[in-house]
């Protein structure tokens, strides 16, 4: 795995956030706090950049959301000293499915929740004149582990160049509460869901494959010699290839003369 000076990366990210604020002409940053490590780190970096008084957190639970996730999100907000709001999205999401799509499966409902959360975040961005901060990391962005126009929608991605394992390391440097660092990553879209279980691979293995294959351009044979398995390579390649459409702007035809 690559070796980065994460203290230097903190400085780079803080400068990046300051530049985004300056260029936008907006004074605030709006961030969804899920109770997970990515949103916690993104919020901490936002506070480092523009001060706690200019960062607003939103907790956006659904009726089936884990109470622990809300508690952890509140712990992060209190730890950082930022203002926060709790907005229940249950009635918004259920209004659609109850009226039109009662038989929708968990994936469809989860995608709707993610997009409804982004609707609320962008409404608050208009209310408070702030930019919506993305919370995606490189591991998720390269594998499409996000909902298009849901949690992938934002004004900018402060940690989008960091692998998940680097997010954990940086969180320790910035003293994110241990309860958040040590919990199993989850999108909390349905009961007992975890990222690694859903992807079929641990983040440590995932990051290693992504780094060796897509940054260093090692062959499968070379990666197998590094101790990875053919199953690891197959899972990551499938995730990467099947999510390419999420990493580009919507295609359109070019103009012709």
Among the residues of 90-213, which ranges form H helices?
90-99, 106-128, 138-143, 164-173, 178-181, 195-199, 203-210
Class of domain 6-194: alpha beta
pTM of this prediction? 0.94
Closest of 145, 110, 125 to residue 20, by C-alpha: 125
86 token code pair: 């709790």
pLDDT digits (tens, 9 = 90+) for 23-67: 999 999 999 999 999 999 999 999 999 999 999 999 999 999 989
Q: What's the rounded Cα separation, in Å, for the pair 50 and 21?
A: 9
Residues of the chain with pLDDT under 70: 189-191
Phi/psi-derived region of residue 100, left when phi > 0, alpha when psi is between -120 and 50, beta in every other case: alpha
Q: What's the rounded Cα separation, in Å, for the pair 209 and 218?
A: 9
pLDDT digits (tens, 9 = 90+) for 145-176: 999 999 999 999 999 999 999 999 999 999 99
- Non-local CB neighbours of 93 within 8 Å, separated by 6+ positions: 62, 109, 112, 113, 116
pLDDT at 191: 66
pLDDT at 139: 96
């Amino acid at each position: 795995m690559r070796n980065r000076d994460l203290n230097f990366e903190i400085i780079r990210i803080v400068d990046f956030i300051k530049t985004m604020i300056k260029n936008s002409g907006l004074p605030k940053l709006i961030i969804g706090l899920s109770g997970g490590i990515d949103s916690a780190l993104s919020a901490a970096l936002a506070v480092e950049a523009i001060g706690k008084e200019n960062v607003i957190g939103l907790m956006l639970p659904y009726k089936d959301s884990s109470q622990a996730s809300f508690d952890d999100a509140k712990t992060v907000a209190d730890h950082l000293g930022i203002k926060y709001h709790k907005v229940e999205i249950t009635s918004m999401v259920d209004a659609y499915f109850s009226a039109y799509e009662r038989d929708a499966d968990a994936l469809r409902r989860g995608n709707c929740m993610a997009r409804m959360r982004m609707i609320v975040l962008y409404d608050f961005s208009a209310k408070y004149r702030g930019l919506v901060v993305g919370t995606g990391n490189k591991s998720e962005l390269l594998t499409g582990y996000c909902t298009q126009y849901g949690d992938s929608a934002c004004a900018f991605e402060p940690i989008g160049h960091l692998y998940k394992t680097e997010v954990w390391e940086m969180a320790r440097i910035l003293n994110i509460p241990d309860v958040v660092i040590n919990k199993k990553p989850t999108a909390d879209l349905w009961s007992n869901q975890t990222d690694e279980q859903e992807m079929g691979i641990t983040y440590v293995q995932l990051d290693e494959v992504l780094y060796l294959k897509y940054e260093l351009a090692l062959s499968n044979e070379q990666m197998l010699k590094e101790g990875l398995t053919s199953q690891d390579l197959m899972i990551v390649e499938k995730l990467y290839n099947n999510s390419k459409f999420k990493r580009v702007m919507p295609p359109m035809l070019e103009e012709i003369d």
